[in-house]
Amino acid sequence: MASLHQAIAEVLPSRLDFYESWLSPKGFRATRMSLAGIRAVFSFLRQEGEHYHAVMRRSGELAASWQYQDLTPVRRSWLHALPRWLRYRAATRLARRLAAATWAQTRASVRWRGGVGSLTIRDSLFCDVRTPAPSALCGFYAAVTAASIHALGLDAEVRVDQCQARGSDACVIVVTPEQHGRGGLVTTVLLAGLAGLLSVPVAAQSPVPAARERALVMPFDNTTREPKLSWLGEGSSILLADELRASSVDAMTREERLRAFERLQVPPLATLSRATVIRIGELVGAADVVIGSMSLDEGALVLRARRIHLESGRLDPEVVARGSLADMFATYRRLATALWRRTDEDVPSATDTAPGVPLAAFEQYVKGLLAETPAGQIPFLNAAIQAAPGYTAARLALWQAYTASGDYRAARDAVQPVADGAPHEVEARFLASLSDIHLRDFGSAFQRLSALQQRAPSAIVLNNLGVVRLRAGALPPEAGWATWYFSQARTLDPLEPDYLFNLGYAYWLDGDPSAASYWLREAVRIGPTDAAAHALLAQALQAGGQAAEAARELALAQRLSSAFAALELKAGAAVVPPRGLERLKDVLEPPRSQRIDAALEMVGQRDQRELAAFYLDRGRRFFDQERDREAEAELTRALYLSPYEAEAHLLLGRIYLRTGRLREATDAFKVSLWSEETTAAHVALAEAYLDARDLAAARAEAERALVLDPKSIHAQKLLERLRQGPGAPV
């Protein structure tokens, strides 16, 4: 249901409000929907002509993609390691599982004969029509099958051979693997009726990210505790990663490693066990982890390192490289060569650290990185630049230090001298544009960002151009609208919620709260714990006249963050968009699907759900024991991890109700109902209204509870109490 909702949003965005009469977020978060409602959606979609097939195809692609992403990393690795012929069978089994899960009455089976597979679906939800259809209606299953095959790195011809809607007993999807197709067919064919889907923009699709063979190089241990080598633990990680990248190994940068450590709440300078290092490598999606140590032996530098292959769990033998301190760069080059089994001739010179940068400059640079405060970093980094004026990595670090201390002019001056064609030139120009923005020199920022965009289109640069457009009083005539820049950024990186937030915000500033609400809904769909996005969506909905939904969004924003506790939406009052909320990007990084964030989220989703369930269970037990303080803390933790957990909101509301916090209880019950409509939540909200002496509202909630469950004893007793008067005993 969620994939169908998203497909309609992409293919028929102007019709989304109409279809949301049945496809409500409340429904698909509860993983259930009325059969009449879903059939109504299909009925109206079939009247949209070729758009029906486009929506079905996109919905199937999304459902298959999400199913693949929900597999554990071990399961995905195991599937990719299968022989080719077994991978085809595994892909069709994935499609069968998803087809059977779509509707409880659907039965699906897979059969392979003569190298050709068939997926048979009986009692298809899509194809249950009163009169025969002119074309097949089960494109969803064909798209699921094709996407599952592509997810496992395969190609095949996929076509609908039989369809229940055309009078057959069942729907049959035929899969012809690539080697059995005509002339090595690599294009997936669904059916002739889906040809119109080719007009769907490619950028709107969200394919499953391809695995990246990345290497994580950890800081080295200083085994001899030599004071003169205290800086070289971090320096070893930087040097070795640079050497590996120079030899075409995709080694993570120090910035990526630190961001991962920050997200995983691992101290950047802590000594970690091997088990912890392996776990970090798995979480960030690395294929290999390098650990090592350095020491001094009679004045010579001795490096020892081992490579851990995470997929196979193999630990390579220790590699040792020895050399003089003056010849440090060459020693690390030999170490990189030995770790990756290459010859010296195969490994080109590393960039930016060897040998054009003096060792003294590199030492000052690393010491600057390790200093705890910007004030402590600046002298070391200036010393590094004084020793090597062309050392661009030091200039970028100096920009960071000056920016952190609030000296934006000095920060810009630090990166201005970076020459054209120098290492990190693009990043230097980007950082200079950020300094321009902080200094409110929007004309200069626009020129720098426009020049960068002409060289290499980037979602981040486009986003910042939109921010400049919003903040600048006047720009050159060629400057586009902020909404255009944000829309282009979203097209290049559709998984980044900040671009959706900015796009919705810009539309509201342009006086279009309806469009703003649409894009802000998309932002909170991708980033459900973004309290600021929920709060802004609430205000945009209020401005658009959707007061009930606005109240629910505001309640959720306040639940996620206390920063919005004072925000109120007054009925009838004009809602003016607040200023200065646009989100500026300050780091050049790949699209979200290729970043460590995606790997962390993909691997951590299962752990997060399990942890949320753990906190919910503890909160439930504390609630039953009337240990309200402990229960509230546990339930709050559960909601931080899973903001739409209806039972957690319901239990919190009951705690508030029995401790006399009526307003908080009412809000919690409303959010619970928004997340999932249940009889228990309606009864609880009715009790809250009754305590607040709002008898009409209490009666309405109790009656709604009886509609959902006519046998509800609690709702019946509550209505009887209302008939007798608010003072009657329950």
Q: Does residue 181 sit in the same domain as residue 262? A: no
More confident residue, 264 or 696: 696
Domain assignment of residue 161, yes or no: yes
Report d(CA 79, CA 86) in Å as an integer: 9
Structure tokens at 353: 């650290």
Yes or no: say if 365 and 380 are a contact pair by the CB < 8 Å rule: yes
Domain assignment of residue 235, yes or no: yes
Average pLDDT over residues 247-254: 85
- Give Cα 718 distance to the centre of its chain: 44
What lies within 8 Å, CB to CB, of 450 at 6+ separation is: 465
Question: Confidence class of residue 220 from pLDDT cuts 50, 70 and 90?
Answer: very high
pLDDT of residue 466: 93
Residue type, 253: T
Q: Does residue 222 sit in the same domain as residue 189? A: no
3-class SS of residue 158: strand
Q: Does residue 184 sit in the same domain as residue 218? A: no
Q: What is the pLDDT of residues 472-514, one digit of tens each?
A: 877 777 777 888 899 989 888 887 889 999 999 999 998 888 8
Domain assignment of residue 691, yes or no: yes
pLDDT of residue 206: 35
Has residue 183 got a pLDDT over 50?
no
Q: Does residue 331 sit in the same domain as residue 264? A: yes
With CA atoms as reference, report the closest residue to 80 among 186, 64, 71.
71
Domain assignment of residue 363, yes or no: no
What lies within 8 Å, CB to CB, of 340 at 6+ separation is: 244, 247, 249, 307
3-class SS of residue 78: helix
Domain assignment of residue 542, yes or no: yes
Q: What is the mean pLDDT of the chain?
A: 80
Percentage of the chain surpassing pLDDT 70? 84
Strand 300-309 to strand 314-315: parallel, antiparallel, or no bridges (unpaired)?
Answer: antiparallel
Q: Is 298 left (phi over 0), alpha (psi -120 to 50) or beta?
A: left
Beta bridge partners of 214: 250
Q: Does residue 129 sit in the same domain as residue 170? A: yes
Q: What is the pLDDT of residues 125-175, one digit of tens each?
A: 887 776 677 778 888 999 999 999 988 888 888 988 888 878 788 889 999
Cα distances (angstroms) measured from residue 8 to each of 1, 272, 434, 436, 517: 11, 48, 37, 41, 16
Say which CATH number the domain at 325 has. 3.40.50.10070
Domain assignment of residue 29, yes or no: no
Question: Confidence class of residue 609 from pLDDT cuts 50, 70 and 90?
Answer: low
Number of Cβ within 10 Å of residue 665's Cβ equals 25
- Most confident of the following: 117-126, 247-256, 261-270, 444-453: 444-453
The DSSP element (H or E) to which 172 belongs, if any, is strand 171-177
Q: Does residue 347 sit in the same domain as residue 431? A: no
Has residue 207 got a pLDDT over 60?
no
Report d(CA 94, CA 470) in Å as an integer: 46
Which DSSP string corresponds to 580-617? S-PPPP-S----GGGSHHHHHHHHHHHHHHHHHHHHHH
With CA atoms as reference, report the closest residue to 100 among 118, 121, 129.
121
Q: Does residue 475 sit in the same domain as residue 533? A: yes
Domain assignment of residue 370, yes or no: no
Cα distances (angstroms) measured from residue 577 to each of 506, 540, 541: 10, 8, 11
Structure tokens at 227: 């004071």
Say which CATH number the domain at 85 has. 3.30.1380.20
Cα distances (angstroms) measured from residue 26 to each of 176, 381, 442, 501: 39, 54, 43, 21
The DSSP call for residue 155 is -
Report d(CA 392, CA 537) in Å as an integer: 42
pLDDT of residue 49: 77
Yes or no: say if 56 and 143 are a contact pair by the CB < 8 Å rule: yes
Could you say which of 546, 564, 582 is where a domain stops? Answer: 564
Residue type, 376: G
Beta bridge partners of 618: none
The DSSP element (H or E) to which 301 belongs, if any, is strand 300-309
Q: Does residue 443 sit in the same domain as residue 528? A: yes
Cα distances (angstroms) measured from residue 81 to each of 77, 87, 152, 179, 312: 6, 8, 10, 19, 11
Q: What is the pLDDT of residues 554-606, one digit of tens each?
A: 888 887 777 888 888 887 778 888 889 999 998 877 655 444 454 444 444 55
Q: Which range has the worst mean pLDDT, 187-191, 241-245, 259-263?
A: 187-191
pLDDT of residue 376: 93
More confident residue, 316 or 35: 316
Has residue 530 got a pLDDT over 50?
yes
Q: Does residue 268 sit in the same domain as residue 164? A: no
Q: Return the half-sphere exposure (C-beta side, CA atoms, 13 A cut-off) of residue 138.
A: 32
Instruction: Order across the sheet with 156-162: list the strands.
Output: 107-113, 116-122, 171-177, 156-162
Has residue 201 got a pLDDT over 50?
no
Q: Which range has the worst mean pLDDT, 164-173, 343-352, 546-555?
A: 343-352
Q: Does residue 528 sit in the same domain as residue 632? A: no
Report d(CA 395, CA 423) in Å as an integer: 11
The DSSP call for residue 45 is H
Average pLDDT over residues 36-45: 76
Q: Does residue 389 sit in the same domain as residue 505? A: yes
- Give Cα 536 distance to the centre of its chain: 20
Question: Confidence class of residue 305 from pLDDT cuts 50, 70 and 90?
Answer: very high
Could you say which of 193, 224, 252 is where a domain stops? Answer: 193
Yes or no: say if 321 and 334 are a contact pair by the CB < 8 Å rule: yes
Is residue 693 packed enough to be buried (19+ CB in 10 Å), middle (13-18) or exposed (0-12)? exposed
Has residue 469 got a pLDDT over 60?
yes
Q: Does residue 548 sit in the same domain as residue 408? A: yes
More confident residue, 479 or 434: 434
More confident residue, 104 or 617: 617
Say which CATH number the domain at 638 has. 1.25.40.10
3-class SS of residue 46: helix
Tell me how far apart the 2 most distant CA atoms of the chain are, in Å.
95
Domain assignment of residue 546, yes or no: yes
Give how many domains the chain has, as a whole number: 4
Q: Domain of residue 147: give its range.
A: 49-193
Name the phi and psi angles at 177, rounded to 5.
-55, 160
Average pLDDT over residues 680-684: 91
Could you say which of 355, 374, 404 is where a domain stops? Answer: 355
